[in-house]
Structure 1
């Protein structure tokens, strides 16, 4: 007789693999051992690529990065007890971003719950506010049931829960929780068990090969949560591919290849054409069939591309001659309509003329944008062809439409020359902001942001961006150019798990990944650097902007409060959170290559290195004058726009 816990484990994993799961992340534990033995057998047969992490929080975010970047479900296995609670941050992010993460938590059987049994707590319902569905998968009541009956029993409970990964007409896709109660024995105990694992894994590999030859697995994540199809490899093999990645054609408006020194940047209006509709991936929003520019009218609309809006948004803006204000993680910051330094324009008299907004995706970064969306004289039309995961229906005021064509009809044609004015003013603002950065001695945050963005565009890397200040730096200075795949955890916008997410993106896509984040974001997830011996090492270079503390708070109200000597020490301790951690020594302890860049030349050289293996690039900056620098950068941009408009 085959051990029942192994039958349950193989049944659960087979159900997930047949739904397109190609990667599984496992954290070690005794109660979850049957799932680990099944995972090992599936990995050996080639049916599944398995990654082991000792930290459950990092395991969860690794699974999140894989699922978000591929659109396919990825499960994370944990043992019982506090290990399950460690997954809550990743599940929260998955819920708000519409990502199909599957929690497989091992648990004690019912007879041991509530008895004080070691490492036992109330696991069912732990993710109640965030999981789309959950099941407490209990052991079969009749121990005399055969293997086929045991499988059928488990599958009857699994099917509706795994169906919920897809969402519904009223609910977006998202995470689910399968709590797997397992009785001893928790390991193979007989030759029948060994044969079962081997035979099951080999049959599963053959089944997967046949199924994927007939039809590739369909992506089930929310369409705004995943990278467009052209950014993904056709089939990410379990073994890392060390073949150099071809460079993307990435030029500025004048046709000059990037790769120039960091400082003294210039920006001209326009950029490369938007991708042809033929490259549109399944699940992205359709652009109206006609690409003929609408008849000039008298309205002043803009298109706002929030997190995950996608390249179709850029095509829509360009086709209708509308200014495109695209956040870095919108994956829409490309094409002639994308406006540089758009925050500076919104703060000017040109921004005051905006009377309507076509909103796509989720705007998360700018208070200036939030103020625009709240203005009583501005109508907001949100393109939402399906339920979205980041707000409850009825809790936002904008008018919803099902597609771009309907949105275009609502806002009407733009005034003649409206886009051209924004393009020219955006170029002026961008140049002014960068002159401001160049006027400072040494590197600034804006130089680093621009350089990382350009380097990622040039070498074809996926860019993972941390929360807080870094993503806002990119929003201010990242130039619109060839499409760049960007991933950011903007569902709940936490800093936790960023390194692990970047690892997951690299493992899931099989692409080189460049990540950029602040020092606190890096230190918060420094455990993400830990890979066990023999684990697959992704191609990942991490740029750490190190200002020895929480720079984001300098740019908020707390920065102003901290200038009052009565609160200076309080703000520094509770918000600045200064530290003296040696990132070089931290990297050395984890066996990760490290380089420090103190100048533009050193940063240029560091970013020019091929993204192969793991490497950390530390860029030390000062934090004390960040508030003044940040405010001045926005002000000089807005002032340059006003001077430009006055001279027209």
Structure 2
């Protein structure tokens, strides 16, 4: 868990008053604009707003910066989806999106995405508007204890009162932005860890909640002057760093790291779990070490063990050293093998990150050196970061992602369509630059068993293996992917249960750009992922009622209600044709149910 550091910010030092040529400003708006300008200058490019009254100064500032071309602004009605949309942006880019919410229960809706970002080290900036602290515990409307509400899951949180920014809003904003930028990316001396994660800045606003403010140019000039004078924390921290698969084990300012570990190639197997470092799997491959790369690992291009579940259960050919990168979570066999007393477990991680360690017995290391075997010695270091779409495909592994996908071959009769067909066709239709998002549904395990070594980028939020916010997060990934490579397409594979759980993610307010996303809904009328549980056989009636929970969802009507194009694909050829036309749509695939 990331180290947290929470405090109430103290007032900023006195600074010269604004130029007399500038109009009198509303402190709330002046502070809000200055804060967002400082964050943008530090590298924040995406701002997600959920409408509200108390947060209007921040929201209006974001709209103004959008008009000036300084940010990409996104509006989401539901705060839960706003959080997961920001999660998707951070997952795909390595940089945080800023999320703006109003006060009260609106803040609490961010918790699921904050938990996920914390577990997997995805940067995110939470800007929550609040009422003055004096109103807390008085029965005042929409007022609660927001400061520190996410503390178990944030790398830092602060609670800024009006007296901090009223005297000099720009100086106070520069100080807060510097703190956010440093801590949010793991580069601050306040946090002795290299792990990025969510940062929470709770800001108390008093009336007037918005009003006139200095020009953006004037505020930028003031921010630059404060940084040059060393008045603010921002001058002590570098801009937000781009995270890629080759980044080092520790942050630039972190003094803590784990020692590099030497392992014998002949006795080792490497497991790449969710958000693994592809460099570990690559080095293992060149050293002749078997690599089990889960389909959501980001390292699937190096996967070399077909039917790995059976192979691990049978003893992995006598290998007794297990090197793990990321968080494996798609099979019981990996956990069971890692828990064996005769297996030495070594986990490649970075300080501050939650590491894979069944029974808390793993030896933690920042990297491994492979000795012996066919490939000699290779060193790999840990990042635990997501790769930008298309960036993790090795140059010397044959790619299944081509500009012109070949005609498909179907696993079953043309008159039917199965889960294997869905996997084959989605992967087979992925052109250069495309990526796949896969929900925590039954289909992720089908894909893990079905897909061979493949450089097609695969995204998922499986840190806590929940179905919260899947559609919203996939749209966030699509936004980043298309900005990196225009024309690329994201395909989301999702079960009907996960689809229903985040149906609100389909809602795009007027003015929002439609994502380049195809949503493939595998509809088996309920939670078939639970069919393997013991209770499914021992108590089928009770299981059906409260675990599998079958339901009938009219996907076509849902698509129409939210303004999405809809297609029903009942045969493999129909699915292939719809995937190949590359138009954003919801594609429903009915599955036979027993």
Aligned-residue offset at 1:514? 1.0
Match of 2:575 in 1: 603
Match of 1:513 in 2: 490
Matching residue within 604, 608, 620 for 2:590: 620
1:379 to 2:344 alignment: yes
Aligned-residue offset at 1:459? 4.5
Could you say if the C-alpha distance between residues 518 and 186 of structure 1 is closer, same or farther in structure 2, counting changes exceeding 3 Å?
Answer: same
Match of 1:507, SS state, is: helix
Matching residue within 536, 540, 550 for 2:517: 540
Separation (CA, whole Å) in 2 of partners of 1:533 and 1:206:
36
Deviations 1:533-586 (A, max 9, x none): 11121101111111000011102223222xxxxx32211010111111100110
Could you say if the C-alpha distance between residues 382 and 574 of structure 1 is closer, same or farther in structure 2, counting changes exceeding 3 Å?
Answer: same
Separation (CA, whole Å) in 1 of partners of 2:148 and 2:92:
27
Separation (CA, whole Å) in 2 of partners of 1:298 and 1:485:
27
Contact 1:340 1:478 in 2 (8 A): no
Matching residue within 318, 326, 337 for 2:285: 318
Match of 1:126 in 2: 149
Matching residue within 61, 75, 82 for 1:38: 61
Separation (CA, whole Å) in 2 of partners of 1:338 and 1:34:
53
Contact 1:464 1:514 in 2 (8 A): yes
Separation (CA, whole Å) in 2 of partners of 1:391 and 1:66:
23
Contact 1:25 1:75 in 2 (8 A): yes
Aligned-residue offset at 1:599? 1.1
Contact 1:135 1:158 in 2 (8 A): no
Match of 1:334, SS state, is: helix
Separation (CA, whole Å) in 2 of partners of 1:367 and 1:87:
30
Structure with the largest fraction of helix: 1
Aligned-residue offset at 1:331? 1.3
Aligned-residue offset at 1:414? 7.7
Could you say if the C-alpha distance between residues 451 and 353 of structure 1 is closer, same or farther in structure 2, counting changes exceeding 3 Å?
Answer: farther
Match of 1:330, SS state, is: coil
Aligned-residue offset at 1:466? 0.4
Matching residue within 132, 149, 174 for 1:155: 174
Separation (CA, whole Å) in 2 of partners of 1:150 and 1:353:
65
Match of 1:50 in 2: 73
Separation (CA, whole Å) in 2 of partners of 1:90 and 1:173:
15
Contact 2:193 2:352 in 1 (8 A): no
Match of 2:527 in 1: 550
Matching residue within 530, 544, 547 for 1:572: 544
Separation (CA, whole Å) in 2 of partners of 1:315 and 1:450:
25
Could you say if the C-alpha distance between residues 46 and 523 of structure 1 is closer, same or farther in structure 2, counting changes exceeding 3 Å?
Answer: same
Query: Which moves more between the two structures, 339-348 or 510-519?
Result: 339-348
Aligned counterparts, 1:344-383, within 5 A: 344-348=310-314, 351=316, 353-383=318-348
Could you say if the C-alpha distance between residues 441 and 389 of structure 1 is closer, same or farther in structure 2, counting changes exceeding 3 Å?
Answer: farther
Separation (CA, whole Å) in 2 of partners of 1:617 and 1:436:
18
1:474 to 2:447 alignment: yes
Separation (CA, whole Å) in 2 of partners of 1:583 and 1:501:
20
Separation (CA, whole Å) in 2 of partners of 1:609 and 1:318:
36
Deviations 1:265-288 (A, max 9, x none): xxxxxxxxxxxxxxx644489xxx
Matching residue within 296, 304, 317 for 1:338: 304
Could you say if the C-alpha distance between residues 556 and 201 of structure 1 is closer, same or farther in structure 2, counting changes exceeding 3 Å?
Answer: farther
Match of 1:182 in 2: 205
Match of 2:196, SS state, is: coil
Match of 1:403 in 2: 367
Q: Structure 2 stretches of 5 or more lacking a match?
A: 1-23, 226-237, 251-263, 377-408, 483-487
- Superposition CA RMSD, Å: 3.0
Match of 2:416 in 1: 442
Contact 1:506 1:513 in 2 (8 A): yes
Separation (CA, whole Å) in 2 of partners of 1:39 and 1:94:
23
Aligned-residue offset at 1:391? 4.4
Separation (CA, whole Å) in 2 of partners of 1:20 and 1:390:
26
Separation (CA, whole Å) in 2 of partners of 1:415 and 1:461:
32
Contact 1:70 1:508 in 2 (8 A): yes
Separation (CA, whole Å) in 1 of partners of 2:155 and 2:375:
45
Could you say if the C-alpha distance between residues 298 and 30 of structure 1 is closer, same or farther in structure 2, counting changes exceeding 3 Å?
Answer: closer
Deviations 1:124-172 (A, max 9, x none): 12101111111111112695x3xxx332234334533442212244362
Contact 1:341 1:475 in 2 (8 A): no
Separation (CA, whole Å) in 1 of partners of 2:346 and 2:374:
15
Deviations 1:508-552 (A, max 9, x none): 232421111111111100000000111121101111111000011
Q: Structure 1 stretches of 5 or more lacking a match?
A: 208-215, 229-279, 286-296, 417-434, 562-566, 625-648
Contact 1:299 1:355 in 2 (8 A): no
Could you say if the C-alpha distance between residues 388 and 47 of structure 1 is closer, same or farther in structure 2, counting changes exceeding 3 Å?
Answer: same
Aligned-residue offset at 1:205? 13
Contact 1:327 1:475 in 2 (8 A): yes
Match of 1:140, SS state, is: helix
